[in-house]
């Protein structure tokens, strides 16, 4: 079948979808606004729950997309998407118009901007960082404070920008708990003398081998898990971060002085996704991610025929789920193109 | 500390503050606590900045102190506030400026309530009509008096006689800013700079040459907290709250504390004396306390007003060491003498009663 598919976004979902579509015999235009493909995965050091190097999955995706049927357009964004009969005319920022029989939107997520939780002082206090910043430190092999010294007492705040009515995100980002557990373990491995405290609302260990990792964090690595939300952070004269938190299991307020505070930034609909929604007329849901046609059996279908959704542009999901969702999107695209072909042939 | 991070937040929390023609309402308690402050505000506004500020003699308490003390029901508070708005309307003004932070918080809360629940506003209008026969307009602009001084901080700086600089060292004075809880903690968007890093006082300090101190218990209550003090049995908690703040700010060696609430300067000032009596502890340098000021007093000082006209002799913590540090001229002999300055007596006018 000589069909063209445009895949928007070359993160995990987009690369998986593009690769599988190419294997199925379609000509694919893979559009990425960044200068390189790979998305957030490029910035992640180790993956949960098995602690494998993120580069291994990146390498798998890179090989998958090394296909003559895929044309990669990096540094390119989408300006317009027009629908005429069964063809989508996708105009890129370079002025090129790509005619597609189907479009896969895989615009992924943005990390919650932690500076919006003003009370934690991200962007203000020197030793308040995000989970993404910490991954960068892991990649560089240097876990250091602003003054270059290694931290000894580290706090990790869960649910930053997730399950938070104040910032308008009622949903759970799903991955922050297990990311916190994984990062806490890594911290203890890098800095064996350090003490690590996780401040959580609920431990949501809903994935395969997550609970086991959580148990290991406590039993093997001695990481303390304190059930309570940090109410505020501030900076002492010695540059240490002072936090206030309620230990809800003990039922008492708690103050603690930390060398480093790590904020587990949640996931939000990406700015790129919002733009695509606007230019294509795609519906978004209450949580601002793309609205799917059916939560149970139509999670790859949008409100527009011929435009499909893949990965974290519809909801927070881990890499395993993202890859599965992208493959499901490919299956939907194939069914759709087969049906349009049949209609054309009468 | 990254000041650019704070500036980014400050830029998101700006509010409209009108240029002129203010309906000013005084606080129930400030005239007892710091009697020179409101007079200083009027003098700055009328004599220095040449602004039109109107005071109504029939203005009463807003009842906020009773509302937050759990003795005044919300419908009563709303009806009292409606009457204040009626006085403003009758006087031909629309820019409402309360001197008190709790009043500002109460007015904000009530206006927000009426905005979201118009039927409540209608009910309160009926209450007011039945009780007094009055009608009212919603203020076109609501700004706390510290917002007004913040707005004109550059004009004040341009006319300043002194800056917040140590005359011996040339270093900026280290100033702790303490914001009243009811200023922006309930409605962050209604305060200059928001709730977490308010800028309303920090802006004045920066503009007048000082350096703002950010210390860990910056957000903590001053110790007034209404029921913490109004209920006698809770007063130990009130002192403990203030002590928490002093202990936290002490390592930063602040030269002074600046406030914008009726209760905060009272408790931060008086409790230093109490703690000294109880524990023998002082928090300032050289065994002194940390002087505490209202924003009107500080504006008056930089403009060169006589410290005793500003009522600084009413402070528990002696202000003279700070005046000396800045190089402000004053007469020690006049500290407790009656005020005869014509500039001060000029503002002691009373509006014509409308009853």
* Residues B260-293 pLDDT 10s: 999 999 999 999 999 999 999 999 988 999 999 9
Max CA pair span of chain A:
78
**What average pLDDT does chain B have?**
93
Phi, psi of B253 (to 5 degrees): 50, 60
Question: How close is the nearest chain A Cα to the Cα of B349, in Å?
Answer: 45
Which of B7, B195, B216, B254 to probe the A interface (max A CBs under 10 A)?
B216
Q: What is the DSSP string of A183-248?
A: HHHHHHHH-TT-EEEEEES-----STTHHHHHHHHHHTT--EEEES-EEEEEE-TTSPEEEEEEET
Judge whether B276 and B138 are in contact, CB under 8 Å: no
Q: Mind listing the pLDDT tens digit for each residue in B13-31? A: 999 999 999 999 999 999 8
Nearest CA in chain A to B198: A118
Residues of A within 8 A of B219 (CB-CB) are 232, 234
Closest listed residue to residue A146, CA positions, set B292, B157, B1: B1
Residue ranges matching CATH 3.50.50.60 in chain A: 4-108+270-345, 114-267
Contact A118 B218 (CB under 8 A): no
Cα dihedral B14, A118, A276, A77, rounded to 10, equals 90
B215 and chain A in contact, CB less than 8 A: yes
Q: How many Cα atoms are found within 13 Å in the side-chain-facing hemisphere of A39?
A: 27
Residues of A within 8 A of B217 (CB-CB) are 234
Which of A234, A235, A256 to probe the B interface (max B CBs under 10 A)?
A234
What the block records as the tokens of B349 is 């006018």
Q: Measure CB to CB from residue A124 to each of B1, B194, B251 and give the nearest one.
A: B1
Question: How close is the nearest chain A Cα to the Cα of B2, in Å?
Answer: 5
pLDDT for residue B350: 40
Task: Provide the CATH topology of domain A4-108+270-345.
Answer: FAD/NAD(P)-binding domain (3.50.50)
Question: How close is the nearest chain A Cα to the Cα of B297, in Å?
Answer: 28
B343 and chain A in contact, CB less than 8 A: no
Q: Which residue has the higher pLDDT, A323 or B344?
A: A323
Confidence of residue B353 (pLDDT cuts 50, 70, 90): very low
Tell me the residue ranges of DSSP E strands in A67-116.
Answer: 70-73, 78-84, 87-92, 97-100, 102-105, 109-111
Using CA atoms, how far apart are residues A267 and A313, in angstroms rounded to an integer?
10
Question: How close is the nearest chain B Cα to the Cα of A258, in Å?
Answer: 13
Contact A126 B1 (CB under 8 A): yes
Neighbours of A63 (CB within 10 A): 11
What are the 10-residue block averages of pLDDT along chain A, 346 residues in total? 93 98 97 97 95 96 98 97 92 96 98 96 97 97 96 98 95 96 98 98 95 98 97 95 96 96 98 96 96 97 97 97 98 96 80
Confidence of residue B104 (pLDDT cuts 50, 70, 90): very high
B1 and chain A in contact, CB less than 8 A: yes
Question: What would the mean pLDDT of B143-158 be, rounded to a whole number?
Answer: 98
What whole-number percentage of chain B has pLDDT above 90?
86
Distance between start and end Cα atoms, chain B: 56
B251 and chain A in contact, CB less than 8 A: yes
Nearest CA in chain B to A119: B196
Judge whether A232 and A120 are in contact, CB under 8 Å: yes
B252 and chain A in contact, CB less than 8 A: yes
Contact A124 B252 (CB under 8 A): no
A309 DSSP 8-state letter: E
Q: What is the ipTM of this complex?
A: 0.86
Question: What would the mean pLDDT of B117-123 be, rounded to a whole number?
Answer: 98
Using CA atoms, how far apart are residues A173 and A182, in angstroms rounded to an integer?
16
Task: List residues of chain A with CB under 8 Å from any CB of chain B.
Answer: 115, 118-119, 121-126, 232, 234-237, 242
Residues of A within 8 A of B194 (CB-CB) are 118
pLDDT for residue B230: 81
What the block records as the tokens of B55 is 């005071």
Q: What is the enclosing helix (H) or strand (E) of A24?
A: none
Nearest CA in chain A to B1: A125
Question: How close is the nearest chain A Cα to the Cα of B199, in Å?
Answer: 14
B262 and chain A in contact, CB less than 8 A: no
Contact A234 B196 (CB under 8 A): no
Residues of A within 8 A of B8 (CB-CB) are 115, 123
Contact B1 A235 (CB under 8 A): yes
In this predicted structure, the answer to whether residue B347 has a pLDDT above a threshold of 60 is no
Question: Is residue A145 helix, strand or coil?
Answer: coil
Question: Is residue A170 helix, strand or coil?
Answer: coil
Contact A118 B215 (CB under 8 A): no
Q: How many Cα atoms are found within 13 Å in the side-chain-facing hemisphere of A60?
A: 14
What the block records as the tokens of A336 is 């759709």
Q: Measure CB to CB from residue B216 to each of A115, A126, A242 and give the nearest one.
A: A242
Nearest CA in chain B to A126: B1
Burial bucket for residue A195 (CB in 10 Å: 0-12, 13-18, 19+)? middle
Closest listed residue to residue A280, CA positions, set A305, A316, A298, A315: A305
Contact B251 A123 (CB under 8 A): no
pLDDT for residue B352: 37
Residues of A within 8 A of B174 (CB-CB) are none
Question: How close is the nearest chain A Cα to the Cα of B230, in Å?
Answer: 24
What the block records as the tokens of A142 is 């240097």
Nearest CA in chain B to A236: B216
**Superfamily of structural domain A114-267:** FAD/NAD(P)-binding domain (3.50.50.60)
Using CA atoms, how far apart are residues A142 and A124, in angstroms rounded to an integer?
21
In this predicted structure, the answer to whether residue B42 has a pLDDT above a threshold of 60 is yes
Nearest CA in chain A to B4: A124
Residue showing tokens 């997730």: A162
A294 DSSP 8-state letter: B
- Tell me the CA distances in angstroms from A265 to A132, A169, B245, one per residue in order: 8, 12, 31
Judge whether B351 and B54 are in contact, CB under 8 Å: yes
In this predicted structure, the answer to whether residue B354 has a pLDDT above a threshold of 50 is no
CATH numbers and ranges of domains, chain B:
20-145 (1.20.1050.140), 155-334 (3.40.50.11810)
Nearest CA in chain B to A166: B188
In this predicted structure, the answer to whether residue B355 has a pLDDT above a threshold of 50 is no
């Amino acid at each position: 079948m000589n069909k063209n598919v445009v895949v928007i976004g070359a993160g995990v979902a987009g690369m998986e979808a593009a690769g599988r579509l190419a294997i199925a015999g379609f000509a694919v235009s893979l559009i990425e606004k960044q200068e390189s493909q790979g998305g957030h995965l490029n910035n992640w050091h180790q993956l949960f729950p098995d602690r494998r190097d993120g580069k291994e999955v990146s390498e798998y995706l890179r090989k998958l997309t090394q296909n003559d049927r895929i044309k990669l357009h990096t540094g390119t964004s989408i300006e317009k998407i027009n629908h005429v009969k069964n063809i989508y005319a996708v105009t890129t920022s370079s002025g090129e118009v790509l005619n597609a029989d189907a479009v896969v939107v895989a615009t992924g997520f943005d990390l919650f901007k932690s500076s919006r939780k003003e009370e934690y002082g991200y962007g203000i206090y020197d030793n308040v960082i995000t989970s993404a910043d910490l991954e960068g430190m892991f990649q560089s092999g240097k876990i250091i404070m602003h003054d270059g010294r290694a931290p000894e007492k580290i706090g990790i705040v869960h649910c930053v920008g997730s399950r938070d009515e104040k910032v308008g995100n009622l949903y759970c980002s799903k991955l922050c708990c297990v990311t916190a557990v994984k990062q806490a373990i890594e911290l203890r491995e890098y800095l064996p003398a350090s003490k690590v405290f996780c401040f959580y609302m609920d431990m949501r260990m809903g994935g395969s081998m997550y609970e086991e990792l959580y148990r290991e964090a406590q039993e093997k690595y001695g990481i303390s898990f304190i059930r309570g939300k940090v109410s505020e952070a501030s900076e002492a004269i010695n540059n240490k971060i002072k936090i206030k938190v309620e230990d809800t299991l003990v039922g008492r307020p708690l103050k603690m002085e930390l060398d480093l505070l790590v904020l587990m930034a949640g996931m939000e609909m990406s700015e790129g996704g919002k733009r695509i929604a606007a230019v294509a007329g795609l519906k978004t849901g209450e949580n601002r991610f793309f609205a799917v046609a059916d939560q149970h059996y139509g999670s790859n279908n949008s409100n527009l025929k011929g435009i499909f959704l893949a990965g974290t542009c519809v909801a927070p999901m881990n890499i395993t789920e993202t890859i599965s969702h992208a493959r499901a999107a490919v299956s939907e695209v194939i069914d759709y193109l087969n049906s349009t072909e049949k209609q054309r042939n009468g | 500390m990254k000041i650019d991070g704070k500036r980014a937040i400050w830029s998101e929390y700006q509010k409209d503050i009108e240029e002129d023609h203010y309906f000013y309402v005084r606080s129930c308690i400030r005239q007892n606590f710091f009697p020179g402050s409101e007079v200083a505000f009027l003098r700055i506004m009328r004599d220095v900045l040449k602004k039109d500020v109107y005071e109504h003699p029939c203005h009463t308490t807003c009842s906020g102190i009773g509302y937050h003390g759990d003795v005044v029901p919300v419908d009563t508070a709303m009806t009292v506030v409606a009457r204040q708005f009626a006085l403003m309307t009758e006087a031909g003004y629309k820019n409402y400026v309360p001197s008190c932070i709790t009043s500002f918080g109460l007015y904000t809360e009530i206006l927000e309530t009426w905005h979201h629940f118009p039927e409540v506003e209608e009910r309160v209008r009926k209450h007011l009509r039945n009780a007094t026969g009055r009608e009212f307009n919603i203020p076109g602009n609501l700004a706390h008096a510290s917002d007004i001084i913040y707005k004109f901080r550059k004009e004040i700086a341009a006319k300043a006689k002194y800056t917040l600089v140590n005359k011996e060292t040339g270093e900026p004075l280290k100033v702790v800013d303490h914001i009243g809880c009811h200023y922006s903690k309930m409605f962050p968007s209604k305060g200059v700079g928001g709730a977490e890093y308010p800028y309303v006082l920090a802006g004045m300090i920066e503009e007048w040459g000082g350096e703002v101190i950010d210390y860990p218990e910056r957000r903590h209550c001053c110790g007034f907290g209404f029921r913490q003090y109004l209920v006698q049995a809770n007063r130990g908690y009130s002192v403990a709250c203030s002590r928490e703040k002093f202990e936290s700010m002490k390592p930063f060696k602040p030269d002074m504390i600046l406030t914008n609430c009726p209760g905060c300067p009272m408790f931060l000032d008086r409790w230093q004396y109490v703690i000294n009596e109880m524990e023998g502890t002082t928090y300032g340098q050289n065994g002194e306390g940390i002087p505490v000021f209202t924003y009107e007093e500080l504006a008056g000082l930089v403009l060169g007003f006589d410290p005793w006209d500003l009522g600084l002799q009413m402070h528990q913590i002696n202000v003279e060491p700070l005046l000396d540090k800045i190089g402000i001229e004053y007469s020690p002999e006049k500290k407790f003498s009656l005020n005869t300055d014509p500039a001060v007596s000029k503002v002691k006018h009373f509006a014509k009663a409308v009853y």
